[in-house]
Structure 1
Amino acid sequence: MINLFKIKGQKKEEAASAAGKPPVKKQSAGELRLHKDISELNLPKTTSISFPNGKDDLMNFEIIIRPDEGYYIIFATSLSLSEFDFIFTVISRGGTFVFTFQVSPSYPHEPPKVKCKTKVYHPNIDLEGNVCLNILREDWKPVLNINTVIYGLNLLFTQPNDEDPLNHEAAVVLRDNPKMFEANVKRAMAGGYVGQHYFPRCA
């Protein structure tokens, strides 16, 4: 049987190349859905998005999270002198955590592949950057979207979960000694060793 739609598409491409235009690349259903998701993004104020390969490659992008509450912020004090007294200012500064997203053409029937590029001391992110988030695994459904994943990642920084860990050592410390966990997070974010592992500065 002759596929009329295929012939029509070929004729369109031939006409475009005859006119000196590059052939139009057909978008997959996954690309179309992702385009919709990105155009409807409602990012939290702690989050931004970037496209390292340019806007033509929507299937690979980065999400940057700078937490403003929870364990993953550092408080610093600055001192200034006025004519009559000292003024202490407390400044909170979040770490900067970069996540790469790789979206397959079969999206949304399979979740995006998400990795953390920033080495972080976290019970739900291992030292290779793998992320433990239920909606990226068994709880993924096609009705979910990129925005849902971004909110889930933000939640990891405000409510790290010691019950479903990838970094078991960090999970044990969080559960048994939250003060030590907080000190370890600050040490890692400032650039330093926690146990045998070195963490580059991210705050």
Structure 2
Amino acid sequence: MLKLRALAEAKAKAKEGQGQETTPQVIKPSLIRLKKDLENIDLSEQICEYTTYLDENPMRVNLAIKPDIGYYAGGTYYFNVFIKDTYPMEPPVVKCMHRIYHPNIDIDGNVCLNLLREDWTPALDIQSIIIGILFLFHEPNGRDPLNKDAAKTLIEDPLRFENKVNHSLRGNNIDGVWYDKIIY
């Protein structure tokens, strides 16, 4: 026991001599919570996959969302989730990495989802966000839009909306805007 203590003291002195601090690195509570959230994700890989960058940027998660029903079925949509130091007290920032024709996602990738704004509570987690995004793909909300033109088309003429979505997902131009090719 004394040898271990002497060894630890010698290591500490050696670090001090090299100008290194001996204080342990503190892990942010937001990172601890994020790791727990990711461990608890219980969704099929056929619907969602995620990638983390714990070594490079531990506060970023990439999501691949794969809706299986609705206007957007058949595509894989990538999102970046940026976790703030105040997580879970404040929601993460979520950005769609594709330009898609959707009433609740603008061409810059901003996502309009109530649980990322006024409905956020610390009880929500990354899986809640994934389910919320999936729901937007299954049931786009024309009443709370970021893309007002898409919302208007969805409400007034759902068949025309469906045609525009299908056209846009193949990388075409809709109303002067080129969209990313999602479906080949």
TM range (shorter): 0.7 to 0.9
Task: Choose from 147, 157, 163 the match for 2:143.
Answer: 163
User: Cα distance, 1:137 vs. partner?
Assistant: 0.3
AA of the residue aligned to 2:33: R
AA of the residue aligned to 1:187: H
User: Cα distance, 1:43 vs. partner?
Assistant: 2.2
Task: Choose from 15, 18, 42 the match for 2:12.
Answer: 15
Secondary structure of 1:59's aligned partner: strand
Aligned partners of 2:13 and 2:153: how far apart in 1? 62
Instruction: Check whether the contact 1:124–1:131 (CA below 8 A) recurs between aligned residues.
Output: yes
AA of the residue aligned to 1:124: N
The two structures have a TM-score, normalised by structure 2, of 0.85
Query: Structure 1: which 5+ runs fail to align?
Result: 1-10, 74-93
The two structures have a TM-score, normalised by structure 1, of 0.77
Between Structure 1 and Structure 2, which shows a larger proportion of strand residues? 1
Match of residue 41 from structure 2: 41
Aligned partners of 1:40 and 1:165: how far apart in 2? 31
Secondary structure of 1:34's aligned partner: helix
For residues 173 and 22 of structure 1, do their structure 2 counterparts lie closer, same or farther at Cα, with a shift above 3 Å needed?
Answer: farther
Match of residue 118 from structure 1: 98
- Aligned-residue identity in percent: 38
Secondary structure of 1:58's aligned partner: strand
Aligned partners of 2:14 and 2:133: how far apart in 1? 44
Indicate the RMSD between aligned Cα atoms, in angstroms. Answer: 2.4
For residues 131-170 of structure 1, what are the structure 2 equivalents within 5 Å?
Answer: 131-170=111-150
Match of residue 54 from structure 2: 55
Secondary structure of 2:95's aligned partner: strand
For residues 22 and 176 of structure 1, do their structure 2 counterparts lie closer, same or farther at Cα, with a shift above 3 Å needed?
Answer: farther
Aligned partners of 2:43 and 2:169: how far apart in 1? 24
For residues 95-110 of structure 1, what are the structure 2 equivalents within 5 Å?
Answer: 95-110=75-90
Query: Structure 2: which 5+ runs fail to align?
Result: 1-7
1:186 aligns with 2:166: yes
Count of residues paired in the alignment: 170
Q: Summarize deviations over 1:51-83 as a string: whole Å, max 9, x none.
A: 2xx33233111101121110013xxxxxxxxxx
